[in-house]
Structure formats: C-alpha cells, structure tokens
C-alpha cells in the first residue's frame, strides 16, 4: 500500500482552516444552548406545568432521533420557512444564496440545547431543596435565589457533563458536510474525490480530528480542574 | 405536509428496520467481545498491552463516527488486499459498518467493564479463592456476575447509541431505514423531503423511547439490589447511586 504523502500534506494544509468553521459552529451552538438549556433545565427541575411537558417532548425527540435526521429535517424545511419569514418582513433576499453554515448553526443549536437542558436539569436536582428555601427565608426572590444560590452550586455539578457535551458537539460537527458546509471533513473529502485518493484524504481528517478533540478535551479538563479548585481544599 | 404520504413512507421504511437491528446486534456482540479483551489488557500486568489498550481507547474517543466509518470503508479493503490477499470488493457494506461500530464499542465498553470490575470489592475474589476455587472460577462465578450488574445501565445507552449512530451507514450505501429514506427522498426529487424524514423520525423516536423504557425496567429488575451497603455507608446512599456519586464528589 503506497500512500501519496505529498498529497496528504497538501490536503492537510487545505483542510486546516476548516477547524475554524468547526469552532465557529461549536461556539455559536454553545452560545445559544447554554442560556436556553439552563432555562429549560430549571423548567424541568421545577416541573413548571405545561412548559415542562413541552420541554420534555422536545428533549425526548432530540435524544431519540439521530443527529443526521435532524440535519435533514432542518436542511429541508428551514429554507422554505425562512423564505416565508423573509417575505413577511419584506426582506429582498434570495434564501438559496444563504451560506449553509447558517443551517448548521440552527441544527447544532437545537440539538445542543436539548442535551444541555438534561445536563442542567440533573445538576439542579443535585442541589438540595433547602438551599432555595434558605434563599427565600432571607427574602430573596425566586430569580435571586436561583441566580445567587442554586445555579452556582449546580454549575459545579454540571461541569464534567458540560465539558463532555462540548467535545461531543465538536465531534458531531463533522456531519456538517452533509449540508455542504466547508469544514474539515468537507474540504478533505472534496480533495480526495478530485484526486481519487480517498485513503489519504480520510487519514487527514482522522488525524486532524484526533489531535483537535484530544487537545480540546485536555484543555477542558484543565479548566474544569481550576474551576473546581476550591473543592479539593 | 401530507399525512397520507408520511404514513405510506412509514410503511415503506419499516421492513428495513431488520437491517438496522442487524448491525446493532452484530456490533453489540463483537464490540462487547473486543471491549472485554481491551478491559482485560488494561487490568492486566503486561505493560505494552496495557499501553496499547489505553492508546486505542483514547484515539477512538477522539474520532467522530462518520470519520471512522469512511476510514474503515476506504482503508480496510486496501489493507486486506495488500497484506492479507483477500478481496473484499464484493462484500456487503454492512460489514464495514459492523467493523466501525465494533471498534467504537470495544473502546467504550472496555472502560465500562474496567469500571464495573473495579467496583466489585477485591475481597469477593479473595473469598472465592479461599474456598478453593481457581482464580478463573472465582472470577467467573463471583466477580463477573456482580460486575455485570454494575455495567447494566450502560447497556441501554449503548444500544440507543448504536441505533442512532448507525444511521450514518447510509453514507457508505447501506440501505437501512435511514438509507431507504434517503432513496425514497431521491426518487421524489427531494420535493417531499420533509415528509420522508418525518416518517423516518416516527420510527426512530418511539423505538428510542422504548429502548430507554426497557433499560429502566431491566435496571429496576436487576439493579442495585445486588449491592450490599458497605460498612459506614447507609443503604440509602447505595440505592441512589447516581446522586451519591455526585454527592461524593462534592464532599
């Protein structure tokens, strides 16, 4: 088996900027998912009537279907939905010129929100009920009690799962190529198809992801350790 | 949206569930075997083997499913042709799916099994040996059954993971429920894409919920009742293991 090392190196360089797109998607999805997921997590933990049930159906659907299916659902329905919205708002814009990365933002935000909602729900239930009652007893409102007492404690319980879900998210972005988003996988795949050197191209993708995710995992571990430093004392 | 078309597509996709269940069960079987070997290597005394097993787990954990699937699909035939003189060109694509997920499962299961093995007190093994069992007998009859119950909750997650991630098999041309949906969509020139994928969701969603329910049932049936509270711990903290582990971290 002879590998074309020149081609491999060349493709590696070409695919490298794809990491930025990967981070971009992960960052936007996390930025959307952390606040919304937190709110949904509180709704679920408090069992707010109706809203809790709705959140449950949403979370169950996202957790119960493959990500690729969610991608296809969004990718095939959102353009027409957005077209209607744009028409209503009177925006003159051809929806089919939209950069597909927007759809990636939408899909990964939707799915990451559901994942984080579960993480936060579990974390909030680990905080003893008496903590919130104590907050009430000193005259805090529910919002103050959550913001100052419950959420900080829940966060430290949520941290490991949160870090895991972020690495999972970065791994999942490799599916963005199905929406023709030009990230690591898509770039290398295209190069491989052009030269019919699939093995080299896929080895590149494999290598890049391995290093990327390994690094992210290690960095998150260090951050997590620092954030929880007070507990080790 | 056309409910009639969704229902018709649903019925069209349903028979292909057998293909999905085929790679789920095969990957589960081989993955568990591989996981067992890797866990044994990690717990064993052989240093190079231990290192190898750990490296394997780390690498696989850092690889997205679709990337490994492509890699296996393109590299394995070349490797087998060049080094083993086996031509796999005519082999079904399902083979590559099973290889891929066996590799993934081997990595994750080895961690689960290692944890489950370590969760069983060493004294159990020693007690077995002390009544005259061989080391293997003590492992098989005393340690393994207990370790199994620790590993049980992960089994459900693994099945659901395989069921969902396996949908990526369509990217290499396997016609399972996902692959069939992709084909149906193509024959309609993508005009009814939303309906087709909604019909597909109607298969995935209820089945995932069913697997989860089944897992909870098994857990309640076999769950932690096997674990006797250790000295100094109350039965309460053992029963609520999920909570107590978080409490343990906080303490």
Evaluate if residue B132 carries a pLDDT over 80: yes
- Provide the number of CB pairs (under 8 Å) joining chain A to chain B: 107
pLDDT value for A157: 85
* Most B CBs within 10 Å, among A62, A65, A71, A197, to test the B interface: A65
pTM for this entry: 0.84
How large is the average pLDDT for residues A191-204?
A: 84
B63/A contact by beta carbon, under 8 A:
yes
**How far is it, in rounded angstroms, from Cα A98 to Cα A108?**
17
Residue pLDDT, tens place only, B91-124:
888 999 999 999 999 999 999 999 888 888 888 8
Residues 6 or more apart whose Cβ sits within 8 Å of residue B114: B39, B42, B43
Nearest CB neighbour to B167, from listed A66, A156, A202: A66
Q: Is A202's CB within 8 Å of B209's CB?
A: no
Least confident piece of the model among A141-145, B151-155, B205-209, B219-223: B219-223
Shortest distance between the Cα of A69 and any Cα of chain B, in A, equals 7
User: Taking CA atoms, what residue in A is nearest to B240?
Assistant: A126
Evaluate if residue B223 carries a pLDDT over 70: no
Q: Distance of CA A220 to CAs A163, B55, B56, B107, B139, Å?
A: 6, 20, 21, 21, 37
Residue pLDDT, tens place only, A118-133:
999 999 998 888 998 9
Residues 188-217 on B with a CB inside 8 Å of A are: 190, 193-194, 197-198, 200-201, 204-209, 212
pLDDT value for B105: 93
Q: Which long-range contacts (CB under 8 A, 24 or more apart) does A101-106 make?
A: A101/A21, A101/A24, A101/A25, A101/A176, A101/A181, A103/A74, A103/A75, A103/A78, A103/A79, A103/A179, A103/A181, A104/A25, A104/A173, A104/A176, A104/A179, A104/A181, A105/A25, A105/A28, A105/A29, A105/A32, A106/A74, A106/A78
For residue A124, give the H/E element and its range. Answer: helix A101-126
Token digits of residue A79: 């353009």
Q: Is A203's CB within 8 Å of B201's CB?
A: no
A115/B contact by beta carbon, under 8 A:
no
Evaluate if residue B158 carries a pLDDT over 80: yes
A209/B contact by beta carbon, under 8 A:
yes
Evaluate if residue A149 carries a pLDDT over 60: yes
User: Taking CA atoms, what residue in A is nearest to B201?
Assistant: A65
Chain B residues within an 8 Å CB radius of A154: none
Least confident piece of the model among A194-198, B64-68, B135-139: A194-198
Residues 88-147 on B with a CB inside 8 Å of A are: none
* Most B CBs within 10 Å, among A69, A82, A162, to test the B interface: A69
* Most B CBs within 10 Å, among A15, A62, A68, A161, to test the B interface: A68
**Tally of residues, chain A:** 233
A193/B contact by beta carbon, under 8 A:
no
Q: Please give the domain boundaries of chain A with CATH numbers for all domains.
A: 5-232 (1.10.3720.10)
Q: Give the position of tokens 């936007």.
A: A28
pLDDT value for B208: 93
Q: Is A206's CB within 8 Å of B200's CB?
A: no
Q: Give the position of tokens 């089994």.
A: B155
Nearest CB neighbour to A64, from listed B66, B71, B208: B208
Least confident piece of the model among A39-43, A192-196, B182-186, B220-224: B220-224
Evaluate if residue B217 carries a pLDDT over 80: yes
pLDDT value for A227: 81
Domain locations in chain B? 3-250
Q: Are the CB atoms for A37 and A154 separated by under 8 Å?
A: no
Residue pLDDT, tens place only, A48-63:
899 999 999 999 999 9
ipTM above 0.90, yes or no: no
Token digits of residue B46: 């052989």
Residues 6 or more apart whose Cβ sits within 8 Å of residue B15: none
Least confident piece of the model among A64-73, B185-194, B219-228: B219-228
pLDDT value for B29: 94
Evaluate if residue A184 carries a pLDDT over 90: no
How large is the average pLDDT for residues B51-62?
A: 92
pLDDT value for A178: 87
Nearest CB neighbour to A171, from listed B64, B78, B247: B64
How large is the average pLDDT for residues B127-153?
A: 87
Q: Is B70's CB within 8 Å of A174's CB?
A: no
pLDDT value for B224: 55
pLDDT value for B231: 53
Topology, domain B3-250 = MetI-like fold (1.10.3720)
A215/B contact by beta carbon, under 8 A:
no
**How far is it, in rounded angstroms, from Cα B99 to Cα B239?**
37
Shortest distance between the Cα of B120 and any Cα of chain A, in A, equals 24
> pLDDT band for position B232 (50/70/90)?
low
Q: Distance of CA A197 to CAs A3, A190, B71, Å?
A: 9, 10, 12
Evaluate if residue B226 carries a pLDDT over 60: no
> pLDDT band for position A165 (50/70/90)?
very high
Q: Is A157's CB within 8 Å of B200's CB?
A: no
**How far is it, in rounded angstroms, from Cα B251 to Cα B244?**
10
Evaluate if residue B238 carries a pLDDT over 50: no
pLDDT value for A232: 57
């Amino acid at each position: 088996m002879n590998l074309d090392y020149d081609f491999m190196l060349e493709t590696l360089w070409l695919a490298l900027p794809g990491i930025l797109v990967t981070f971009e998607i992960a960052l936007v999805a996390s930025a959307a998912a952390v606040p919304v997921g937190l709110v949904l997590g509180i709704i679920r933990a408090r069992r707010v009537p109706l809203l809790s049930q709705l959140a449950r159906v949403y979370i169950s659907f996202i957790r119960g279907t493959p990500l690729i299916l969610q991608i296809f659902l969004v990718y095939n329905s959102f353009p027409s939905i957005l077209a209607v919205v744009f028409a209503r708002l009177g925006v003159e814009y051809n929806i089919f010129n939209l950069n597909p990365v927007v759809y990636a933002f939408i899909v990964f935000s939707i799915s990451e929100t559901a994942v984080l909602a579960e993480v936060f729900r579990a974390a909030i239930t680990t905080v003893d009920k008496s903590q919130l009652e104590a907050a009430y007893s000193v005259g805090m409102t529910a919002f103050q009690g959550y913001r100052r007492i419950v959420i900080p404690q829940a966060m430290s319980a949520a941290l490991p799962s949160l870090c895991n879900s972020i690495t999972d998210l970065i791994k999942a972005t490799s599916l963005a190529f199905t929406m023709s988003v030009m990230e690591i996988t898509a770039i290398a795949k295209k190069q491989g198809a052009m030269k019919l050197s699939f093995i080299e191209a896929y080895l590149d993708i494999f290598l890049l992801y391995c290093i990327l995710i390994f690094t992210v995992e290690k960095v998150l571990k260090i951050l997590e350790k620092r954030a929880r430093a007070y507990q080790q004392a | 949206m056309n409910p009639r078309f969704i229902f018709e597509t649903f019925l069209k996709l349903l028979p292909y569930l057998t293909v999905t269940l085929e790679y789920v069960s095969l990957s589960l079987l081989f993955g568990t075997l591989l996981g067992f070997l890797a866990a044994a290597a990690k717990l064993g005394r052989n240093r190079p083997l231990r290192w190898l097993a750990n490296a394997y787990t780390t690498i696989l954990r850092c690889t997205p499913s679709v990337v490994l699937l492509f890699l296996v699909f393109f590299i394995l035939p070349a490797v087998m042709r060049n080094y083993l003189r086996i031509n796999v060109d005519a082999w079904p694509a399902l083979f590559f799916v099973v290889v891929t997920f066996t590799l993934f499962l081997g990595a994750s299961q080895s961690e689960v099994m290692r944890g489950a093995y370590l969760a069983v007190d060493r004294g159990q093994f020693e007690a077995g040996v002390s009544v005259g069992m061989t080391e293997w007998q003590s492992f098989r009859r005393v340690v393994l059954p207990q370790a199994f119950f620790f590993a049980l909750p992960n089994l459900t997650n693994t099945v659901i993971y395989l069921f969902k991630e396996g949908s990526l098999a369509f990217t290499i041309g396997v016609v399972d429920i996902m692959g069939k949906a992709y084909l149906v969509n193509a024959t309609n020139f993508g005009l009814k894409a939303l309906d087709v994928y909604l019909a597909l969701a109607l298969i995935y969603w209820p089945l995932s919920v069913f697997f989860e329910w089944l897992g909870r049932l098994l857990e309640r049936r076999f769950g932690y009742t096997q674990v006797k509270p250790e000295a100094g711990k109350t039965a309460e903290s053992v029963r609520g293991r999920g909570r107590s582990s978080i409490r343990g971290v906080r303490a």
